């Protein structure tokens, strides 16, 4: 086994631009050009080449230096996920790794200037995301310690509180837990049952009494809670002078320096999980635990020694969402790390697919490489395209996050937009990661099921990414509500008579989409020519119009259906909204597709310098594959809505297959631009061993042909390939 990714099937680099030039033995050549493997006659533009370095730089984004340093760190064996450790061993290994990260001050960029940091939140999150290719347990444990526990102090506390508690959190002198979720109320944070009641007679100037009133109010699934945490940022209902002011955050010590639970604090170990077993998840409960008045993190709400409550935000609802919004970086980081995990899985599966051969074609001494099968292209390349779209969209999210958290663009509107974008992309990317890793696992056959090839373990660890930091379904509902709110706000600007005209106009538009005229216009534009239809559907204007219209119309249809709720009782209105929940989720997903498509397009347009023209051409094909796949996946809706003609509907599947063949020569370059390094890839199937076995089999058959005129049967080919695999 070599230490580098397999090279025999990769074209050679040129010195001038870093692009690749085809060689006579290049297995990446698309069917229909040089390989006789059942070609589809699609011309491939040989002049378009992807500049790997240029595209890789674009994917690195604004915080390229931070990502490079973190990628170097993630390649070190000392940080890698163990394959055969017990839960206890994995936990202690990850804790030791976390201490090493603390010693290296990896999260220093998150700190504001008055705490000794550069206030570079984007760099901090970018570096954090890269740890997923080392060990997702380490990434998430670091996220709990610094992205949640420490960040809660920084974002919700005043300067005095920050200076008191942040240094210990950063150095890991004070391992911490983030105690929000309860057994009985997971995503419904506003309904948490843990209470913090102010006692003005306690201590020097009053104390908080934290209490868990019943079993369902235990804090659960908390990283660090089972063993390591010595303090926790606890979310509880603030009660003073008999008034409940809603959920606030408190700094609560839970263990002493020797790791013993403090009086009144109970803890339980969640035990072994389906993944992320390097993290000691557990439960916490409080039996009238007292902490000083100043342990309330008081940026958005404070209590005086006499129990008087004050807040810079008058509205309780807006105050709550502002406090929760300060913790959005967890969703931002999960979006980026899910994209990175998809990149790793695609690197493994596509590298393997360009080496692994199976069944004969025209050449009796060489079987057909997997990547030359249409079905293999079909299962992997759309995931590759979606991963590129997600990567460019994440860069926009990360920049929006940095603008808000740095203070440069911290306005209520910017925070609301950031929360909506994070709620849009986190569910999309985590679902994509799970689907991509599973598809890659299956595409690698039995080899993909071996733990040493990473894919099974990666899927196990990322499974819960769809649940924590906001359950994906709940987040998409939040997106839909924001979209509906924006739509309703537009209607409020229209007078009563205007609303009637507007609804009548929308009804007319809906009716027109179901007449033959719009579809006839598309048929006339295509003039019955499949290639003309292909060119039409590949135009950026067509794709954006289809995706934008779908996103707008799906919101519009739900909004119009829910208009009667304005005159209903709260209970009846809630029941009516519940009847349209599926349509709301569908509208949010349509919005996510549009966001990613636009981000991908902007990323292509931003490419500049030598090699940009060829790179834009290749990435435009990738973007078109993403856009047309999104349309094709919802083709029934487009046809029933009259937005796409039946001719184009019939054509789109063939057009997608055409794009697959166009992209076949570029697959290795496209994954090379992800900058997945040998230390990130510990999968033997992506490190050259498979190519060695295939070359051995081919050499054997060439020798047999040279010594005999007898043809080599297909069965013999398979038998020798199997023997070669057994000699591994």
Any idea what DSSP says for residue 189?
G
What are the φ and ψ backbone dihedral angles of 289, each rounded to 5 degrees?
A: -80, 130
Least confident of 100-104, 125-129, 149-153, 325-329: 325-329
What are the pLDDT digits (tens) for 548-582? 999 999 999 999 899 888 889 999 999 999 999 99
DSSP 613-668: HHHHHHHHHHHHHHHHHHHHHTHHHHHHTTSS-HHHHHHHHHHHHHHHHHHGGGHH
pTM above 0.95, yes or no: no
Q: Which is more confidently placed, 366 or 308? A: 308
Binned at pLDDT 50, 70 and 90, residue 188 comes out as confident
Nearest to 300 by CA among 147, 112, 149, 158: 158
Binned at pLDDT 50, 70 and 90, residue 420 comes out as very high
Which regions of 141-218 does DSSP assign to beta strands (E)?
A: 176-179, 195-199, 207-211
Nearest to 263 by CA among 234, 229, 291: 291
DSSP 214-270: SGGGSEEEETTTTTT-SEEEEEEEEEETTEEEEEEEEEEE-B-TTSPBPTTEEEEE-
Q: Is 448 helix (H, G, I), strand (E, B) or coil?
A: helix
Considering the chain, what percentage of its residues have pLDDT values greater than 90? 69
pLDDT for res 692: 62
CATH says 476-672 is which class? mainly alpha
Nearest to 616 by CA among 73, 40, 55, 19: 55
pLDDT for res 367: 80
pLDDT for res 61: 97
What are the pLDDT digits (tens) for 503-527? 555 555 555 554 444 444 455 455 5
Q: What value does the mean pLDDT take over residues 235-262?
A: 96
Encoding tokens for residue 448? 């993909």
Least confident of 50-64, 242-256, 672-686, 695-709: 695-709
Q: What value does the mean pLDDT take over residues 376-387?
A: 98
Residue 360: in which H helix or E strand, if any?
strand 357-360
**Measured distance CA(347)–CA(335) in Å, rounded:** 19
Task: Kindly tell me the burial class for residue 127, based on how many C-beta atoms sit within 10 Å of its own C-beta (0-12, 13-18, 19 or more).
Answer: buried
Q: What value does the mean pLDDT take over residues 82-106?
A: 96
**Measured distance CA(77)–CA(682) in Å, rounded:** 10
**Measured distance CA(128)–CA(146) in Å, rounded:** 10
**Measured distance CA(418)–CA(398) in Å, rounded:** 9
Sheet holding 219-222: strands in order across?
Answer: 219-222, 282-286, 265-269
Binned at pLDDT 50, 70 and 90, residue 486 comes out as confident
How do 282-286 and 265-269 pair as beta strands? Answer: antiparallel
Q: What value does the mean pLDDT take over residues 589-614?
A: 96
Task: Kindly tell me the burial class for residue 460, based on how many C-beta atoms sit within 10 Å of its own C-beta (0-12, 13-18, 19 or more).
Answer: middle
How do 302-303 and 309-310 pair as beta strands? Answer: antiparallel
What are the pLDDT digits (tens) for 617-654? 999 999 999 999 999 999 999 999 989 988 888 889 99
Q: What value does the mean pLDDT take over residues 251-276?
A: 97
Any idea what DSSP says for residue 487?
H
pLDDT for res 529: 56
Q: What value does the mean pLDDT take over residues 279-307?
A: 97
- Please list, in sequence order, all residues whose beta carbon lies within 8 angstroms of the beta carbon of residue 72, skipping any fewer than 6 positions away: none
* List of long-range contacts for 109-117, beta carbons under 8 Å, 24+ apart: 109/66, 110/146, 110/150, 110/151, 110/154, 111/154, 111/166, 111/170, 112/154, 114/159, 114/162, 115/154, 115/162, 115/163, 115/166
| Cβ pair 720, 698 in contact under 8 A | no
* 502 pLDDT higher than 70: no
Q: Is 302 helix (H, G, I), strand (E, B) or coil?
A: strand
| Cβ pair 41, 32 in contact under 8 A | yes
Q: Which is more confidently placed, 360 or 312? A: 312
Any idea what DSSP says for residue 34?
T
Determine the length of the chain.
Answer: 728
DSSP 666-725: GHHHHHHTT---TTT---GGGTTHHHHHHHHHHHHHHHHHHH--SPPPHHHHHHHHHHHH
Overall fold of domain 68-325? Butyryl-CoA Dehydrogenase, subunit A; domain 2 (2.40.110)
Binned at pLDDT 50, 70 and 90, residue 536 comes out as confident
| Cβ pair 212, 194 in contact under 8 A | yes
pLDDT for res 283: 97
List helix spans (H) across 444-515.
445-448, 455-462, 472-492, 496-513
pLDDT for res 489: 78
pLDDT for res 320: 87
Nearest to 680 by CA among 82, 72, 19: 72
* 40 pLDDT higher than 50: no
**Measured distance CA(48)–CA(640) in Å, rounded:** 37
DSSP 311-346: -S---HHHHHHHHHHTTTHHHHHHHHHHHHHHHHHH
pLDDT for res 37: 34
Mean pLDDT over all residues of the chain?
Answer: 86
pLDDT for res 203: 85
- Please list, in sequence order, all residues whose beta carbon lies within 8 angstroms of the beta carbon of residue 423, skipping any fewer than 6 positions away: 331, 470, 475, 476, 478, 479, 482
What are the pLDDT digits (tens) for 330-353? 999 999 999 999 999 999 999 999
pLDDT for res 189: 85
How do 195-199 and 207-211 pair as beta strands? Answer: antiparallel
**Measured distance CA(442)–CA(435) in Å, rounded:** 11
């Amino acid at each position: 086994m070599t230490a580098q990714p397999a090279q025999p099937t990769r074209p050679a680099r040129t010195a001038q631009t870093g692009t690749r030039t085809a060689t006579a033995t290049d297995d990446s050549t698309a069917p229909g050009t040089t390989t006789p493997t059942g070609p589809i006659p699609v011309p491939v533009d040989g002049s378009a080449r992807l500049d790997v370095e240029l595209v890789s730089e674009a994917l690195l984004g604004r915080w390229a230096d931070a990502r490079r340093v973190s990628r170097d760190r993630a390649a070190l064996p000392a940080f890698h996920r163990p394959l055969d450790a017990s839960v206890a061993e994995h936990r202690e290994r990850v804790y030791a790794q976390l201490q090493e990260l603390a010693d290296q001050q990896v999260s220093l960029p998150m700190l504001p200037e008055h705490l000794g940091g550069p206030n570079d939140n984007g760099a901090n999150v970018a570096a954090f995301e890269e740890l997923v290719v080392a060990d997702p347990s380490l990434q998430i444990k670091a996220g709990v310690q610094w992205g949640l526990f420490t960040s809660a102090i920084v974002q919700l506390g005043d300067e005095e509180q920050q200076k008191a508690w942040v240094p210990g959190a950063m150095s890991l002198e004070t391992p911490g837990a983030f105690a929000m979720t309860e057994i009985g109320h997971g995503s419904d944070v506003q309904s948490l049952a843990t209470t913090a009641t102010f006692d003005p007679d306690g201590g020097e100037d009053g104390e908080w009494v934290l209490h868990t009133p019943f079993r369902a109010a235990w804090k659960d699934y908390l990283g660090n809670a089972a063993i390591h945490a010595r303090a926790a940022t606890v979310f509880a209902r603030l009660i003073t002078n008999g008034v409940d002011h809603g959920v606030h955050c408190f700094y609560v010590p839970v263990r002493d320096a020797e790791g013993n639970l403090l009086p009144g604090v109970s803890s339980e170990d969640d035990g072994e999980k389906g993944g992320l077993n390097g993290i000691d998840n557990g439960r916490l409960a409080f039996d009238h635990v007292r902490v000083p008045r100043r342990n309330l993190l008081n940026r958005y709400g404070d209590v005086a020694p006499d129990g008087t409550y004050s807040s810079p935000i008058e509205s309780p609802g807006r105050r709550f969402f502002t406090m929760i919004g300060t913790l959005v970086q967890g969703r931002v980081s999960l979006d980026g790390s899910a994209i990175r995990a998809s990149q790793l899985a695609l690197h493994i599966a596509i590298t393997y697919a360009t080496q692994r051969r199976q069944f004969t074609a025209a050449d009796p001494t060489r079987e057909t490489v997997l990547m030359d099968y249409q079905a293999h292209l079909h299962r992997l390349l759309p995931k590759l395209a979606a991963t590129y779209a997600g990567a460019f969209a994440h860069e926009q999210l990360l920049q929006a996050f940095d603008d808000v958290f740095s203070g440069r663009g911290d306005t209520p509107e910017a925070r609301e937009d950031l929360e909506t974008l994070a709620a849009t992309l986190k569910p999309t990317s985590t679902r994509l990661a799970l689907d991509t890793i599973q598809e890659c696992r299956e595409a690698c056959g039995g080899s993909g099921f071996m733990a040493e090839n990473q894919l099974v373990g990666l899927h196990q660890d990322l499974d819960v990414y769809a649940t924590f930091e906001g359950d994906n379904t709940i987040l998409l509902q939040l997106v839909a509500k924001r979209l509906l709110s924006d739509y309703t706000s537009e209607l409020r600007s229209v007078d009563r008579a205007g609303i009637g005209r507007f609804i009548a106009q929308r009804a007319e538009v809906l009716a027109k989409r179901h007449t033959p005229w719009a579809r006839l216009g598309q048929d006339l534009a295509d003039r019955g020519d499949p290639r003309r239809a292909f060119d039409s559907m590949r135009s950026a204007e067509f794709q954006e119009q289809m995706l934008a219209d779908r996103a707008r119309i799906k919101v519009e249809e739900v909004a119009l259906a829910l208009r009667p709720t304005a005159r209903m009782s709260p209970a009846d209105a809630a029941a009516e909204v519940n009847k349209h929940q599926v349509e709301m989720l569908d509208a949010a997903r349509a919005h996510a597709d549009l966001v990613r498509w636009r981000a991908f397009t902007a990323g292509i347009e931003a490419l500049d310098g030598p090699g940009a023209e060829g790179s834009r051409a290749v990435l435009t094909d990738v973007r078109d594959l993403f856009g047309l796949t999104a349309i094709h996946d919802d083709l029934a809706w487009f046809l029933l809505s009259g937005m796409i003609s039946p001719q184009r509907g019939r054509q789109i599947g063939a057009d997608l297959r055409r794009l697959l063949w166009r992209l076949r020569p570029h697959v290795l370059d496209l994954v090379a631009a992800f900058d997945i390094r040998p230390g990130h890839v510990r999968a033997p199937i992506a490190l050259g061993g498979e190519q060695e076995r295939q070359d051995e089999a081919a050499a054997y058959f060439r020798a047999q042909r040279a010594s005999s005129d007898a043809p080599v049967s297909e069965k013999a080919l398979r038998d020798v390939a199997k023997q070669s695999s057994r000699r591994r």
